[in-house]
Structure 1
């Protein structure tokens, strides 16, 4: 059985992402590991020599109580969506979030991670060092980052951007595996500028390689790469934008430039990140 890791701080952002975790678990016949992490406060024991351990015990207990109180809310959400049959396991871990995610991915044999991010207003933070952004370069399995304002709907169209590099091939294969499970179509987009070094032969070789797969290749000539991608998302009713991690700098530029206002309208879709 597949396993989905859902890290949460029980915020509205995280709870919205939980809906995606539930729906993907249904489609993938998966179970969900709900992970909540906390970091112990830094206390100078010189000033608390007698009750040092009591302070930590009290902090741990308070964290556990909050965790215990929040779990029924997630179960209630599952019931509301008629997904109470999805198996939920719960982990409460002390330490750094990213370290704990990486540890869980290995120890729990995780296949997929679903996390929340702040949405259009938070894209800059997402790519410039927030917890979710840090996870991009740290997690070895596909990671779906869900903006707060994203409303779950059936995943029918996935956009995967490429420059036809050889290392994009495995990323596209991973996207196609997910597309087959969700019964979605993959639209592989290449925005070709005048200085492009991608040959027609390279493009044709990719088409032949994926000839039997549910993918359509779109070659759009434009010098306005970012605008073209955003328009493509809108025109083709894209439900998920897929990217490979080595393109992080490109997507930083995409999401934090002067296009902010336009992106605020377009960007409330999840981003699927694939480690390369």
Structure 2
């Protein structure tokens, strides 16, 4: 892993996610790039083109000055966390947030996106979504969504990987090991048995045989009726620091009737969710 992208709105709420990004960049020996996206106001006027051009030039200059003033705050967080030695680059880009983050992730060839999420509730989260949720769903690299209330002790000791025994999850496991190994983290492969059948335990054994060697591994099939509640309970009971899931893009009808588990978890859980896009595996 060579590069981590950290999109930020430069708010206090994003600082916790920045701490995660710094720790990961340090352990993974990766370059860290922060990204602040701003959207130019839409001006509908019949004025002269050069007048609008001057307006946008001034707007860009104001945004740049504001961004420049915020960089020392990011550097202060970086130094206070003990990462003054890290190579951190800062980018300011105009555009719509989701589209611009995804575009910059490609141009920077980011291996991982780390970003904060404040969450949402009710119909708003289903029909409007959030920036973090949309990026988590559409990125071409893994995305770590860090809730505002997540508490990081400086170590990643336990990573839970929610599995359904798909072949793509074997490749995803290899990516997770790359993150887990520098922290010597324990990997928990967890399946939630909603069907209440013993065959899921047999399938877990078969899945285990396909995985590459990793010294610190645990496998568990957990019986339950609600995926979200069971996973949150497992994470709390085992001191899990990150929950990883393979995510799929939704079709139009899935968009209407079936909500993405990983996206939902990123709203309702105070632990970071690592999304690994299925189309990249």
TM-score (norm 2): 0.85
Using the TM superposition, give the Cα deviation of residue 140 of structure 1 relative to its aligned residue in structure 2, in angstroms: 1.2
Rate the CA distance shift 1:64–1:272 in 2: closer, same or farther, 3 A: same
Q: Which moved more, 1:243-252 or 1:10-19?
A: 243-252
Contact 2:162 2:190 in 1 (8 A): yes
Residue number in structure 2 paired with 1:40: 40
Paired residue secondary structure (1:102): helix
Using the TM superposition, give the Cα deviation of residue 50 of structure 1 relative to its aligned residue in structure 2, in angstroms: 5.7
Paired residue secondary structure (1:145): strand
Q: Give the Cα separation in 2 of the matches to 1:55 and 1:40.
A: 10
Using the TM superposition, give the Cα deviation of residue 191 of structure 1 relative to its aligned residue in structure 2, in angstroms: 1.5
When the two chains are superposed, the root-mean-square deviation of aligned CA atoms in Å is 2.7
Q: How does 1:105-116 map to 2 (within 5 A)?
A: 105-116=105-116
Show CA shifts across 1:176-202 (max 9, x none).
221113221111111113365955553
Q: Give the Cα separation in 1 of the matches to 2:4 and 2:126.
A: 21
Count residues with an aligned counterpart. Answer: 267
Rate the CA distance shift 1:193–1:122 in 2: closer, same or farther, 3 A: closer
Structure 1 gaps, min length 5: 257-262
Structure 2 gaps, min length 5: 250-258
Contact 2:187 2:217 in 1 (8 A): yes
Residue number in structure 1 paired with 2:238: 236
Residue number in structure 1 paired with 2:260: 249
Q: Which moved more, 1:245-254 or 1:56-65?
A: 245-254
Q: How does 1:171-210 map to 2 (within 5 A)?
A: 171-194=172-195, 200-210=201-211
Q: Give the Cα separation in 1 of the matches to 2:103 and 2:3.
A: 14
Q: Give the Cα separation in 2 of the matches to 1:120 and 1:233.
A: 21
Rate the CA distance shift 1:9–1:187 in 2: closer, same or farther, 3 A: same
Paired residue secondary structure (1:13): helix
Q: Give the Cα separation in 2 of the matches to 1:231 and 1:40.
A: 43
Residue number in structure 1 paired with 2:74: 74
Rate the CA distance shift 1:127–1:24 in 2: closer, same or farther, 3 A: farther
Q: Give the Cα separation in 2 of the matches to 1:9 and 1:174.
A: 28
Residue number in structure 1 paired with 2:87: 87
Q: Which moved more, 1:136-145 or 1:204-213?
A: 204-213
Contact 2:162 2:245 in 1 (8 A): yes
Contact 1:6 1:18 in 2 (8 A): yes
Residue number in structure 2 paired with 1:260: none
Using the TM superposition, give the Cα deviation of residue 138 of structure 1 relative to its aligned residue in structure 2, in angstroms: 1.9
Show CA shifts across 1:68-92 (max 9, x none).
0000111111111121111111111
Residue number in structure 1 paired with 2:158: 157
Contact 1:117 1:148 in 2 (8 A): yes
Rate the CA distance shift 1:65–1:49 in 2: closer, same or farther, 3 A: same
